[in-house]
Structure 1
Amino acid sequence: MKFKIGLIWRIIIAIALALGLGYLTLLISEGFAKGFTRVFATFNMIFGGFLNFVVPLIIIGFIAPGIAKLGKGSGKLLGLATLFAYASTIVAGILAYFAATNLLPTYISGLGSKSIESAKEAATSFFDLEMTPLMGVMTALLLAFVLGIGMASIGSKTMLHMFEELNTIIEKVISVIIIPLLPIHIFGIFLNMTYTGEVAKVLSIFIFVFVMIIILHLIMLTLQYTVAGAVSQRNPFRLMKIMAPAYFTAIGTQSSAATIPVTLRQAKQTGASARVTDFTVPLFATIHLSGSTITLVSCSIGVMLMNDVPISFMTYLGFILMLGITMIAAPGVPGGAVVAATGLLASMLGFDESMVALMIALYMAQDSFGTATNVTGDGALAIIVDSFSKEGTSAKLSNQ
């Protein structure tokens, strides 16, 4: 039996090794430590450039066919499901914004931009390699929307098949190249911060943000099931208990798509009709990402505060609104949401490569909990859609 180390553990090991080897090389000599760090700074330069190159392709490859497929639904049911999924994602993002902007500044106060800036100054790559993306992020988004809506409106099969194949290719790039190399990328960033002496402060922030995010996930699930319980006249806490197996399954799989069978089974046990759950649960697995949105917003605010970057609600509101669309059909691999969001982080929030790397590290440390929140929330939304659809209304009348 082949033993496989999960991505979260690989990232934890990478951070631990960065601390250990960073301090060990410093004990040998500062010159040796700097040379060793520059090796991984060079890797990070190459990896970061490749990631920037792939981002527009990720946006087109996942958003265009995702939007096109939304046109293949059963009218009102599709509209209700999409509306509630998007609304839930936006509410989650706004909740995370106000929580993070009120809790994190006091805790992070005093760190300033020293950790990130000093890391960039301490280790430069041995050479520069330019990888120019085929187009900008906003251009890719606009093109994806135009193509996706166009394919849906004309019922295109040929183009949809082509973009589905592009989707498969890009997903291979993410799962075979980007995700496996992420721990090395994170290793290089933390090795750099170990060299500059700021890693302890950054790790303390990681822990605080992690705890805050888990609490926000639980609050969001409580809100979702309170609404679901109210519209279906069922006990919200009993509904959450029924969906618990989906939550714990997602923690292990780190994939909404891989958890669909369990989510579907548990959603039917809540009393929602089979017609609604069979349609909405697979759909929600690709368009409803309330847990991931909480994580992305909270982590990005943490990184911005560490860099003394100004934060405004209107800027973040635009980011949250775009995030809800950009993550449509995000790849069903661990970390897919943050990879899909890197373009928005750079174009709308001004993230540089070091900030993106820290963002990825923060996000990946709790990716499984965000995914678990996504799929558990899918059950609540299925109940809400069922209650608002004709099928749900007739089912309630027959029960009475």
Structure 2
Amino acid sequence: MKNLLNKWNQLSLVKRIIIGLITGIILALTVPDAVKPVAIFGSLFVGALKSVAPILVFFLVMSAISQHKSGQKTNMKSIIILYLLGTFMAGLVAVVASFMFPVTLKLGAGVENVTPPGGVSEVLKNLLMNVVDNPVKALTNANYIGILAWALLLGLALKNAPESTKTMISNFSDALSQIVRWVINFAPLGIMGLVFDTIATNGIGSLLSYGQLLLVLVGTMFFMALVVNPIIVFVNIRRNPYPLVLKCLKDSGITAFFTRSSAANIPVNMSLCEELGLDSDTYSVSIPLGATINMAGAAITISVLTLAAAHTLGINVDLGTALILSLLSAVSACGASGVAGGSLLLIPLACSLFGIPNDVAMQVVAVGFVVGVIQDSCETALNSSTDVLFTAVSEFAQWRKEGKEINISKSPVKKCS
């Protein structure tokens, strides 16, 4: 048994996750009733990630800001620009895809017990109110905008504190990071439980009637991940972008696909940034921020489903309105919640651009929940993996200017000439 455990631990985390994934699929398709308790592993894994993420972000950001020295460079400005550019480009690509492959929906019953925001102003108001949220409440509710705001303020206030105080905060940060590593080691069991629960509960048959919609949604997300994002990476680092793109998709996207929560994937992204050798002062802020405002997948979902509703109702969409939709979906996506299905409640907001009644828009949200098993998983994988991608790209671009060597795991990007 000891030798078996040693061999298991010698495997890379991704290989262990793949084994867990395959095991979950086999169990769900063969003996779903006999092994129902397996699903608890998924709930425990996601629950552990969600519970540690808020306090991890709080102490990491506070520690990084308190120990930041004047004149020390960070890349936050370029990272935020990349986040916003990527989200807008995703909305634009989704609009183009919807024109090339128009989708119509079979609308039925509406969605109950959900309340979408009334407009862009309400989305922005909610964001601002989250900034001034009570710190204890922000930690309890995993309000990352509020957590970031309080961590930044406390970090700034502690810049002149004694070194012993800063060391204590840093020690707390390191201890929480170690807890995260322990949790991530249970990812194979967690993924096994999650995929088992998804297949055993929902099956595949319920998705077949929405095949065309799923193809447009998932196809657009893959195009964004494997074509548009690599172009953005290449423009910045002037080297083959795919080693970095594929590493982010593999190490961050896989877990995000199954957890379906950008917030739950924050610890995974932190660990990946550390592995890439990035500056902790930067990624401790950019990763939780990205989980809130870097929402390329959400922009795609909002645009595709809104235009599907317009096509279904026979509404003519001109080029100008389509461009406004791209911008609106990007702004709305930045206000999407970092939890499963957060982008769907913003669809009525985008539908209002075309005068689509709210009751019809909520039926479109219902369709979104039906295909959400796949759509939301792909959306979160794109969102979360891109948080790491753009954080790394910003820093690597700076390294390129300074002539430093850039190494992406075992796939090196040769030293700049």
Q: TM-score range by the shorter chain?
A: 0.5 to 0.7
Query: Matches of residues 85-124 of structure 1 in structure 2 within 5 Å?
Result: 85-104=83-102, 108=104, 115-116=106-107, 119=108
Aligned residue number for residue 320 of structure 1: 326
Measure, in 2, the Cα distance between the counterparts of 1:214 and 1:355. 21
Q: For structure 1, which segment, 240-249 or 221-230, has the greater mean C-alpha deviation from structure 2 after superposition?
A: 221-230
Q: Structure 1 pair 144/167, CA: closer, same or farther in 2 (3 Å)?
A: farther
Query: Matches of residues 1-400 of structure 1 in structure 2 within 5 Å?
Result: 1=37, 3=39, 77-104=75-102, 108=104, 115-116=106-107, 119=108, 136-141=118-123, 143=125, 160-162=132-134, 165=137, 206-222=210-226, 223-243=228-248, 244-270=250-276, 272-346=278-352, 350-362=356-368, 364-365=372-373, 366-389=375-398, 393-394=401-402, 396=404
Measure, in 2, the Cα distance between the counterparts of 1:135 and 1:211. 28
Q: CA deviation at 1:387?
A: 3.6
User: Greater helix percent: which structure?
Assistant: 1
Q: CA deviation at 1:232?
A: 2.4
Q: Structure 1 pair 393/302, CA: closer, same or farther in 2 (3 Å)?
A: same
Aligned residue number for residue 185 of structure 1: none
Question: Unpaired segments of 5 or more residues in structure 1?
Answer: 8-71, 124-128, 152-158, 172-199
Aligned residue number for residue 45 of structure 1: none
Q: CA deviation at 1:206?
A: 1.7
Q: RMSD of the TM alignment (CA)?
A: 4.2
Q: Structure 1 pair 232/275, CA: closer, same or farther in 2 (3 Å)?
A: farther
Q: Would you say how many aligned residue pairs link Structure 1 and Structure 2?
A: 279
% identity of equivalent residues: 19
Q: Structure 1 pair 315/349, CA: closer, same or farther in 2 (3 Å)?
A: farther
Q: Report the residue type matching 1:84 in the other structure.
A: L
Q: Deviations over 1:329-356 (max 9, x none)?
A: 5323210122244334335552432332
Give the structure-2-normalised TM-score: 0.55
2:117/2:346 contact within 8 Å kept? no
2:95/2:326 contact within 8 Å kept? no
Q: Deviations over 1:93-138 (max 9, x none)?
A: 1111111111126xx5xx8xxx54xx57xx9xxxxx9x9x999535
Q: CA deviation at 1:233?
A: 4.3
1:206/1:362 contact within 8 Å kept? no
2:261/2:339 contact within 8 Å kept? yes
Give the structure-1-normalised TM-score: 0.57
Q: CA deviation at 1:227?
A: 2.8
Q: Report the residue type matching 2:243 in the other structure.
A: R
Question: Unpaired segments of 5 or more residues in structure 2?
Answer: 1-36, 44-64, 144-204, 407-414
The SS at the match of 2:264 is coil
Q: Report the residue type matching 1:299 in the other structure.
A: L
1:242/1:270 contact within 8 Å kept? no
2:120/2:332 contact within 8 Å kept? no
1:276/1:385 contact within 8 Å kept? no
Measure, in 1, the Cα distance between the counterparts of 2:208 and 2:285. 43
